[in-house]
Structure 1
Amino acid sequence: MDKKIFQLHADVCKALGNPLRIEVINLLENKELCFTDLLEITGGLKSNLSQHLSVMTKKGILKVRREGQCNYYSLASLKVAQACRLMREVLIENLKNQKELLEKL
């Protein structure tokens, strides 16, 4: 396999390397939301959220469409949400295993 694909994969993973970005992906899993709705739900700063959305849009993770005064964001592919969900499942399994190990001690 061409090593370029691994670099592109790493770039997308870097774009997901922030809790707010993962929260946004979770929020957009089955719907699109206006920027102001995302801002209200996440409770972040306008400039900060805008920057995160811009990065994810440039990396092809999100799509954006303008309607009236609002930019509506949605996932470019539901597979992004599925990948995040799988990673959460791995995390939860690891936490359960650590808890069991601690209980045995």
Structure 2
Amino acid sequence: MKQMLPVPSEVVQQVAEYFGLLSEPMRLRLLHLLREEEKCVQELVEATHTSQANVSKHLKVMWQAGILSRRSEGTCAYYRVEDHMIFELCNQVCDRLATRLEQQARSFRVLNER
């Protein structure tokens, strides 16, 4: 069996930070809204029913991480997804959660039939 080399702590920290980006529900909502096309901050504020400061805070974090890109046009800032791999990761997590829920539902039905 091949022996695995230890992962440097800096790499572990970077991976944890990347996953941490997805631990905030508002960021997931914003990513979903940006999945198909870029949107200006005001569109995102209206779609999320939250403050511009809150939306901007989360967009800035994802922009700094390289997940989003940003461009200005007049007084509007537009964001779009730059790292589409983020959706593959989200899809895998959602698929796994769906499988777990189905298993739990089957177990619940079996218990109710007894």
Confirm or deny a common fold (TM above 0.5): yes
Residue 72 in structure 1 maps to residue 74 in structure 2:
no
Q: Distance in 2 between matches of 1:103 and 1:54?
A: 45
SS in 2 for 1:39: helix
Q: Which residue of 2 aligns with 1:83?
A: 89
Q: Which runs of 4+ in 1 moved over 6 A?
A: none
Q: AA paired with 1:64?
A: R
State the secondary structure of the residue aligned to 2:37.
coil
Distance in structure 2 (CA, Å) of the matches to 1:75 and 1:2: 29
1:16 pairs with 2:17: no
**Secondary structure in 2 matching 1:83:** helix
Q: How far apart are 1:5 and its partner, in Å?
A: 2.3
Greater relative contact order, per chain length (Cα 8 Å cut-off, separation 6+) = 1
- Normalised to the residue count of structure 2, the TM-score between the two structures is 0.84
Q: Percent identity?
A: 30
Q: What amino acid sits opposite 1:57 in the alignment? A: W
Distance apart, 1:12 and its partner CA = 1.1
C-alpha distance in 1, partners of 2:37/2:8? Answer: 34
1:32 to 38, 41, 45: 38
State the aligned residue count: 105
Report the Cα distance in structure 2 between the residues aligned to 1:102 and 1:41, rounded to whole angstroms.
Answer: 36
CA RMSD between the two structures: 1.3
1:3 is displaced (CA, Å) by 3.9
Unaligned runs of 5+ in 1: none
Give, in angstroms, the shift of residue 30 of structure 1: 2.0
Of residues 88, 93, 96, the one that matches 2:99 is 93
1:4-28 alpha-carbon deviations (Å, 9 max, x no partner): 2222111011111111101111111
For residue 79 of structure 1, report the CA deviation from its aligned partner. 0.8
How far apart are 1:39 and its partner, in Å? 0.8
Which residues of structure 2 form unaligned runs of 5+?
Answer: 1-6
